[in-house]
């Protein structure tokens, strides 16, 4: 775990609630579920239903985050492939340039030798 990961899970003061809370990776989601308070006089069934709704909502958000992550990974793989292709093309161009340079330097030397002979 690097320093940035540990920073994401440190306690911090939340002025809205006047409490210390964990600074988590997904504060928008955390705050949303933190704000859901357990009703004082609720029955176990109501609490279970509310918990079920909360878990379904959290699951949906996690699935959306996973979908975004998959899309970003796909995009990253395409960018890596593009980068690899560009690198191979660069090497090919450098080789072709070097061959052309050697060819023309050789031609120039031949012309200079022919000029000296005449």
**In a shared domain, residues 47 and 26:** no
CA quadruple 35, 39, 44, 47: dihedral sign: negative
**In a shared domain, residues 63 and 113:** yes
Residue 25: per-residue pLDDT: 55
Which residue range is the domain that position 8 belongs to? 1-35
**In a shared domain, residues 51 and 4:** no
**In a shared domain, residues 8 and 27:** yes
Residue 118: per-residue pLDDT: 77
Angle between the N-to-C axes of helices 27-34 and 44-117, in degrees from 0 to 180, rounded to the nearest 10: 180
pTM of the model: 0.50
Q: How many domains does the chain have?
A: 2
Residue 5: per-residue pLDDT: 46
What Cα–Cα distance (Å) separates residue 17 from each residue in 28, 104, 109? 15, 76, 83
Which of 102, 66, 59 shows the shortest CA–CA distance to 110? 102
Residue 12: per-residue pLDDT: 62
**In a shared domain, residues 70 and 24:** no
Stretches where the chain sits below pLDDT 70 are 1-15, 17-41
């Amino acid at each position: 775990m690097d320093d940035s990961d540990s920073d994401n899970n440190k306690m911090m003061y939340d002025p809205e609630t006047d409490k210390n809370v964990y600074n988590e990776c997904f504060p928008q989601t955390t705050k949303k579920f933190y704000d859901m308070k357990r009703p004082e006089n609720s029955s176990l069934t109501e609490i279970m239903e509310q918990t079920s709704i909360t878990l379904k909502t959290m699951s949906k958000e996690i699935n959306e985050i996973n979908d975004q992550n998959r899309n970003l990974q796909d995009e990253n793989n395409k960018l890596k492939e593009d980068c690899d292709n560009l690198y191979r093309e660069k090497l090919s161009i450098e080789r072709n340039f070097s061959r052309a340079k050697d060819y023309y330097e050789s031609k120039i030397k031949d012309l200079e030798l022919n000029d000296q002979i005449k």
